[in-house]
Amino acid sequence: MTHFFADDGEKIHVQVSGDGPPILMLHGWTASHHEWSPFLEQLTPHHRVFRWDARGHGGHRLTRDTVPTVQRMAQDLHNLIDHCGLEALVVVGHSMGALTLWQYIEEHDCRNLSKVCFIDQSPKLLTDAEWLNGIYGDFDRERSLAFLSHLENDFAESVLLLGAMGLNDRARQKYHEGSKGLDKARQWLKEQDPAPLIACWESLTEADYRDTLDEIDIPALLVYGGASNYYRSDTAHYVRNRIANAVLHVYEGTDHSPHQWQRDRFVRDLREFIDSP
């Protein structure tokens, strides 16, 4: 299987590998299914792993006018689960993938899901006087509107700066020094169609899943970066306290992608979580 068609006719690309109980892995904003490639060798002997390119992502040009909002991506997720007849599904969501999964749970409860894993995400990105657990702790609507304007002017550089100028000092230093990895990311972003990704980002910033956390009645694994670019430790503990069956792992010294910095540990934690009663 390399793709399926959503209920509006859009072609959604999916890579399927391995054999066993299913795991669906949802990547972050501007990323693709390749985010999960480093984990296949250890997961596919035990699981059938589904990795999609979310609508508007992965370099796939849209064939429909439907904007890839978080609501539309959650519907795509529902379509994928139905199309493949998936049950007792483990879903792993990083960043935007976590938001997509929360939107799915808001609309469909935890049906067809057995366990969930959320990686370094806040249930509400924008901050205000009463909510400081969003981006940076001070990324309010005014800053969000300014960022949207920057995205329109220079999409690739604005995305890189969002990660570089946050809470992780090492990311800031690496940006100023420049690196091959940064250049590779810049080139990837320049090759993307920015319009659907900007519309997607706007929908993510409008979402609020704080109440949705209370509805999660299945086991949840939380993996957060101890040096996240975007979120302080208070965010991780807030999410843990709102989900009844949540287990929190903080990977000290890692950024917004803790699973990438400590890959062996992440696979070990994920498999132990899946295999536990």
The confidence score (pLDDT) of residue 245 equals 87
**pLDDT, tens digit, 9 for 90 and up, residues 260-277:** 999 999 999 999 999 998
Distance of CA 254 to the CA centre of its chain: 16
The confidence score (pLDDT) of residue 179 equals 84
pLDDT above 80: residue 67: yes
pLDDT above 90: residue 248: yes
The confidence score (pLDDT) of residue 148 equals 97
Chain mean pLDDT for the chain: 97
For residue 14, count other CB atoms closer than 10 A to its CB.
17
pLDDT above 80: residue 1: no
What is the distance in angstroms between the CA of the first residue and the CA of the last residue of the chain?
31
Identity of residue 229 = N
| Span 42-69, average pLDDT | 96
Beta-bridge partner residues of 251? 225
The confidence score (pLDDT) of residue 132 equals 98
The token pair that represents 133 in the structure block: 């657990």
| Span 136-141, average pLDDT | 98
The token pair that represents 56 in the structure block: 């508007």
* CA pair distance 219, 9, nearest whole angstrom: 33
Domain 3-124+207-275 matching CATH 3.40.50.1820: the answer reads yes
**pLDDT, tens digit, 9 for 90 and up, residues 34-43:** 999 999 999 9
The confidence score (pLDDT) of residue 116 equals 98
Are 80 and 7 a contacting pair, CB within 8 Å? Answer: no
Instruction: Classify the C-alpha dihedral 104-110-116-119 as positive or negative.
Output: positive
Sequence-separated (6 or more) residues with CB below 8 Å from residue 184: none
The confidence score (pLDDT) of residue 56 equals 97
| Span 55-77, average pLDDT | 96
**pLDDT, tens digit, 9 for 90 and up, residues 74-100:** 999 999 999 999 999 999 999 999 999
**pLDDT, tens digit, 9 for 90 and up, residues 186-226:** 999 999 999 999 999 999 999 999 999 999 999 999 999 99
**pLDDT, tens digit, 9 for 90 and up, residues 171-184:** 999 999 998 899 99
pTM of the model: 0.98
The per-residue DSSP string of the chain comes to --EEE-TTS-EEEEEEE--SSEEEEE--TT--GGGGGGGHHHHTTT-EEEEE--TT-TTPPPSS-----HHHHHHHHHHHHHHHT--SEEEEEETHHHHHHHHHHHHHTTTTEEEEEEES--S--S-BTTB-SSGGGT--HHHHHHHHHHHHH-HHHHHHHHHHTSS-HHHHHHHHH--HHHHHHHHHHHTS-HHHHHHHHHHHHH---HHHHTT--S-EEEEEETT-SS--HHHHHHHHHHSTTEEEEEETT--S-HHHHTHHHHHHHHHHHHH--
**pLDDT, tens digit, 9 for 90 and up, residues 97-117:** 999 999 999 999 999 999 999
